[in-house]
Structure 1
Amino acid sequence: MGSSDEAELSISATEQPLLSSSTSYSEQYPAPIAYTHSPRPIRDLPFLLLFLLLTLSTFAIGFLSLARRNPDKTLVSSFRYNPSLSSCVLSHLQSPPPLTLSPFLEYLIPTLIITLLLLPAITFSLLFLLRHYAKHLIYSLIPFFFLTPSFLNAYWFVACAVGASCHNAFPLTYRIVLLVFVFLLIGVIIWIIVSNWHRIELTVQIVQVSAVALAENIALLSVLPVLLFLYALIYFTPVVFFLVFATWNGKVVPRAHRGFYECVWREAKWVQWYFALAVIMLLWSAATMVEAQVYVISGTVAQWYFTNDSSRRKKSLRSSLSNAFGPSFGTVSFSGMVMGAVRLVRTILDAAKQNRELGGCVNLILKCCADFLLSAFDFVNKFTVNFAAITGEAYCSSAKMTYELLKRNLLSAVFVETISTRLLAGIIFVISSVYAILVYAILRATSALGTELYLIASLTWLLLMVVLGYFVYVLDNVVDAVYICYAIDRDRGDVSKDHIHQIFAQLPKSRNHGSSLV
């Protein structure tokens, strides 16, 4: 009996999380971290009320600006100054030119429509391959990471040398410099792949795990685009519409210019304040929608990870949506406000870096400190939303508990954030480039277009990159959600998905160990 008790004690000790010797798990948290099912309490209510108040103000003022719009805005060119009246009067109306569809648009529009129709099949095929044949797909496409840009670079150089317009407009010296520069970039890509080759095998397994989790919750691929569409239809488009018609609030007034009077449009003074409010709400709402998607992904994947009940898993997406836009919408709004502010400050800093007038040691130190703080906000907020989706905690408590969770278990997501994302980006780059080349070849054989073919192929490539990039974004968030679930498992000494533990146990056990990948 004594030996069996000792064995049980040793097993339980090995399953305990990696805690410090001075603080036990029970002292820090009265109950283990786990997925919290509905109903959940309302969190971060002040931010929810602030978001709703500013949204209602934006729409109310927008409807008011629409009702008070002045149609003279579109007729400014038809106004002439009348000296006897000391004002501008309408003289004559100019008929708009007729609209015609150019041959370029006649081929561009059907090409983009066909591409949109093929995108679901391409996306689901890629998910199927990543789920069942991730190793074969990634290893077979890695050579094309540098072969594809090498081919496009050489083809561009030869085509420009043959084409008369490009040959005359682009001197040979510049063409050679650009050719060499692109090949140097390709050399950097090769060096990155070779230097990280020993990590590719683990990355393949992580990508396959995320593909399996996404395939088990395949409804995410249909619901998330619907969320984007509804946001664009219900929120983004009306606000942009209001912004356009807000500029119609004003009047045509005379303005002295070089001894003469001309008629110009003068906006009402309140329009600029409404622009500031509407732009802020567009940024906040867009960031909030991004965080809501992360919340829905994390909540759905967490229920798949922790729950074996099939009937409950069928309702996982519905419950995640109800939590994201219900009791946790204040948390999502808070996270969106933080991320929107971080992105705005980062944009301002990037613009300041390009300004040569801002020099000096003090400015450099301030920029470095700001970059450090923004990176810290990015890291904390990234896993805060994942944790909030799982536990239903408020934003600040989720940020604290997530940091302590990862710190306690000496876990790091640096590897997941870098290598897997770049591999998936390389895959969609190759797929999009091959598709664009096929589009170019087909249009070259069936149309009489000239250089417009390159533009059509480029727009098709861009469309495919954007949509497949969104697919990669979802996969990345699935990886983060599974990673937090794995961390919670380790913290509780539990194993919910054994094959996931076998893969994620190979990750670096500390942030410092994996930091070299950055």
Structure 2
Amino acid sequence: MASSDDTTLAGKSSGVYEPPSKPLTSTYIDEFHHHHSPPPSESDPSSSHYPTNITYNHQSSRPIKDLPFLLLFLLFVISTFAFGIFASVNKNPNSPSSVSAFVYDIRIDSCIKDRAVIGDRGLFLNLLRSDSGYLLKNLILTLVVTLILSIPISLFLLFSLKHYAKQLVYISLPFFVIVPIFLDLYWFVACTINSTCSEKFPLGYRIIVMVFVLLVIGVIVWIFVLNWGRVELTVRIIRVSADALSNNLGLFGVLPVMILGLIAYFVPIVVFLVYARLNGEIVPKENHGKIFCQWKQDSWVPAYYALAILTMLWSAAAMVEAQVYVISGTIAQWYFSKEDSRIKRSIRSSLRNAFGPSAGTICFSGLLIAVVRIVRGAVDTAANEDASGMINVILKCCVNALLSAFEFLNKFTINFAAITGEAYCSSARLTYELLRRNLLSAVVVEIVSTRLLAAIIFVLSVIYAIVVCVILNAASDLGVDSYFVAVVTFVVMLVILGFLVHVLDNVIDTVYICYAIDRDKGEVCKTDVHEIYVHLPISRNHSPSYLNARTPLLV
């Protein structure tokens, strides 16, 4: 009979790790490091300049990091508001739309007002009195009810993922196929019955569209079947992440407030942009021997537009990174706490660190994200244009490769910065070294992707929209317009539940980094996390270990 050491070495030689059937203990961690760690020259932190004890930094006053980027961001904001106030004070009372009310006076060689422009102030009132007003009233009422109901629906989804993740996924996946098939067949029948639609789309075209949609659904089913083992592992990871998030429900109060704060911050900038448009004068211009009046904008206005738009893009990206920072800091405190203890003021300390010592790091990360988005948008726009030539193709490939490499390295950087308080560049380097030392990689994020969660919220949003449509048809006289209202509520519910998925996705990333830190130190702070994350593959094409080991799922 082979010994336990021989069995472990045999599992290693086959490229598959077989986890033990007993719960994870510190003895198992030592054995795991003994057989699966890289050579000491590579894995020993003391052989490099990296810290030997990576964990959550509980210091009440962390050192300030990336200060130059914070100062640069404040310079952009102050300049935007300063020039915006100047634009508001210096605006011309005559707007560009009033040019038609001016005529050229040859006596003074200038444009003068010819007549008053009377606007149609009753347009909005007439709109409300019309049939469109009835539609608008029902739409607003339905959206208000949707926003109110989104809170209990989100909490229901979260606690269902915590306790019944496997059942919820198994119930939702068939609907992910049934709902598109139903909509496809419903459209085909409705278009066949409707004379106008049947005239525009002959029977042959309707059959082609219906078959094409069914083929797409078949491809989706095939993808799920091929990745069924990864679906099982993802379900377990979703359950752990939902448990972590349910222990920090205060995030659902703080994160929306941060979004509302960003909107309130954008409002004066948008007002400044409107006033900046009014900075100019109406001047005469000669064209083909005729002189007419036109609006001439001040030369500094386009530069201010560029400054304000860049500031808004940077601010939006920085706010997204700040939310990730707060989520990561809060979840990390929960992870590294004792099993029976409750962390107090974890969200408050994460907010203090995010908008205090690590504000420069968040601004730096937001700047890089904004630049990447702008460059990627420019590349996609150029790709849609008729740009031929080998040089253009090579440049596009190089740019896409660089952007993908940056997104790969940036994946866990802000999570690590929230945990340790390190600067951005140090966090990127330390994260890479942490994952490399422990035979982990960012490619496993593909295993814990949000595809299953996206399928769940899509099904829930469709069901909610169908219920809304039925109620509107029964309780109102909207008729066909009820479908429009249902589509709008579907989009709103999808966005709200998508925010929950976004938070869960960041929780998954944070728990993964915390697990890597635990593994690096040979400790176990959360046993249930280790029992699941130990099955993660070390490469994109590597199957989850429990599939080969035939261990039962603990769900």
TM-score w.r.t. structure 2 length?
Answer: 0.87
Following superposition, the deviation at residue 186 of structure 1 comes to 1.1
The answer on whether the counterparts of 1:34 and 1:391 sit within 8 Å (CA) in structure 2 is: yes
Which residue identity lines up with residue 62 of structure 2 in the other structure?
Answer: R
- Provide the C-alpha distance between the structure 2 equivalents of 1:256 and 1:236, rounded to a whole number of angstroms: 40
Which residue identity lines up with residue 163 of structure 1 in the other structure?
Answer: N
* Other-structure match for 2:74: 52
Kindly, what percent of the aligned residue pairs are identical? 54
1:507 and 2:536 equivalent? yes
- Provide the C-alpha distance between the structure 1 equivalents of 2:362 and 2:408, rounded to a whole number of angstroms: 16
Which residue identity lines up with residue 481 of structure 2 in the other structure?
Answer: E
- Provide the C-alpha distance between the structure 2 equivalents of 1:262 and 1:128, rounded to a whole number of angstroms: 68
* Other-structure match for 2:98: 75
* Other-structure match for 1:432: 461
Within 5 A, what are the aligned runs for 1:85-484? 85-90=108-113, 91-98=115-122, 99=124, 100-101=127-128, 102=132, 103-233=134-264, 235-257=265-287, 259-308=289-338, 313-356=343-386, 358-417=387-446, 420-484=449-513
- Provide the C-alpha distance between the structure 1 equivalents of 2:281 and 2:79, rounded to a whole number of angstroms: 24
- Provide the C-alpha distance between the structure 2 equivalents of 1:309 and 1:506, rounded to a whole number of angstroms: 22
Following superposition, the deviation at residue 476 of structure 1 comes to 0.1
Q: 1:57 to 1:11 in 2, by over 3 A?
A: closer
Could you say what secondary structure the match of 1:88 adopts? strand
The answer on whether the counterparts of 2:416 and 2:513 sit within 8 Å (CA) in structure 1 is: yes
The answer on whether the counterparts of 1:410 and 1:510 sit within 8 Å (CA) in structure 2 is: no
Q: How many residues align?
A: 506
The answer on whether the counterparts of 1:18 and 1:491 sit within 8 Å (CA) in structure 2 is: no
Deviation string, structure 1 residues 338-373 (Cα, Å, up to 9, x no partner): 1111111111111111112x2233322222221111
Could you say what secondary structure the match of 2:412 adopts? helix
The answer on whether the counterparts of 1:207 and 1:420 sit within 8 Å (CA) in structure 2 is: no
Q: 1:261 to 1:504 in 2, by over 3 A?
A: same
Following superposition, the deviation at residue 14 of structure 1 comes to 4.1
Q: 1:502 to 1:418 in 2, by over 3 A?
A: closer
* Other-structure match for 2:38: 19
- Provide the C-alpha distance between the structure 2 equivalents of 1:310 and 1:396, rounded to a whole number of angstroms: 35
* Other-structure match for 2:23: none
- Provide the C-alpha distance between the structure 1 equivalents of 2:283 and 2:447, rounded to a whole number of angstroms: 57
Following superposition, the deviation at residue 30 of structure 1 comes to 4.5
- Provide the C-alpha distance between the structure 1 equivalents of 2:211 and 2:526, rounded to a whole number of angstroms: 49
The answer on whether the counterparts of 2:339 and 2:526 sit within 8 Å (CA) in structure 1 is: no
Following superposition, the deviation at residue 48 of structure 1 comes to 0.7
Could you say what secondary structure the match of 1:226 adopts? helix
Which residue identity lines up with residue 437 of structure 1 in the other structure?
Answer: I
- Provide the C-alpha distance between the structure 1 equivalents of 2:434 and 2:394, rounded to a whole number of angstroms: 32
The answer on whether the counterparts of 1:410 and 1:509 sit within 8 Å (CA) in structure 2 is: yes
Q: 1:133 to 1:276 in 2, by over 3 A?
A: same
Could you say what secondary structure the match of 1:183 adopts? helix
TM-score w.r.t. structure 1 length?
Answer: 0.93
- Provide the C-alpha distance between the structure 2 equivalents of 1:190 and 1:471, rounded to a whole number of angstroms: 25
Following superposition, the deviation at residue 411 of structure 1 comes to 1.1
The answer on whether the counterparts of 1:412 and 1:511 sit within 8 Å (CA) in structure 2 is: no
Following superposition, the deviation at residue 402 of structure 1 comes to 0.3
Q: 1:467 to 1:258 in 2, by over 3 A?
A: farther
Which residue identity lines up with residue 358 of structure 2 in the other structure?
Answer: S
Which residue identity lines up with residue 53 of structure 1 in the other structure?
Answer: L
Q: Please, which runs of 5 or more residues in structure 1 have no aligned partner?
A: 1-7
Following superposition, the deviation at residue 13 of structure 1 comes to 5.9
Following superposition, the deviation at residue 264 of structure 1 comes to 2.5
Which residue identity lines up with residue 117 of structure 2 in the other structure?
Answer: L
- Provide the C-alpha distance between the structure 2 equivalents of 1:132 and 1:417, rounded to a whole number of angstroms: 23
The answer on whether the counterparts of 2:444 and 2:538 sit within 8 Å (CA) in structure 1 is: no
- Provide the C-alpha distance between the structure 2 equivalents of 1:456 and 1:302, rounded to a whole number of angstroms: 41
Of 65, 83, 86, 1:64 maps to 86
* Other-structure match for 1:4: none
Backbone CA RMSD of aligned residues: 2.2
Q: 1:276 to 1:445 in 2, by over 3 A?
A: same
Which residue identity lines up with residue 92 of structure 1 in the other structure?
Answer: A
Following superposition, the deviation at residue 238 of structure 1 comes to 1.5
Could you say what secondary structure the match of 2:104 adopts? strand
Q: 1:300 to 1:48 in 2, by over 3 A?
A: same
* Other-structure match for 2:550: none
Following superposition, the deviation at residue 241 of structure 1 comes to 1.6
- Provide the C-alpha distance between the structure 1 equivalents of 2:110 and 2:29, rounded to a whole number of angstroms: 91
The answer on whether the counterparts of 1:19 and 1:25 sit within 8 Å (CA) in structure 2 is: no
Which residue identity lines up with residue 236 of structure 1 in the other structure?
Answer: F
- Provide the C-alpha distance between the structure 2 equivalents of 1:419 and 1:19, rounded to a whole number of angstroms: 25
Following superposition, the deviation at residue 15 of structure 1 comes to 4.3
Q: 1:514 to 1:198 in 2, by over 3 A?
A: closer
- Provide the C-alpha distance between the structure 2 equivalents of 1:9 and 1:190, rounded to a whole number of angstroms: 42
The answer on whether the counterparts of 1:380 and 1:403 sit within 8 Å (CA) in structure 2 is: yes
Which residue identity lines up with residue 333 of structure 2 in the other structure?
Answer: Q
Could you say what secondary structure the match of 1:471 adopts? helix
Following superposition, the deviation at residue 418 of structure 1 comes to 5.2
Following superposition, the deviation at residue 10 of structure 1 comes to 9.9
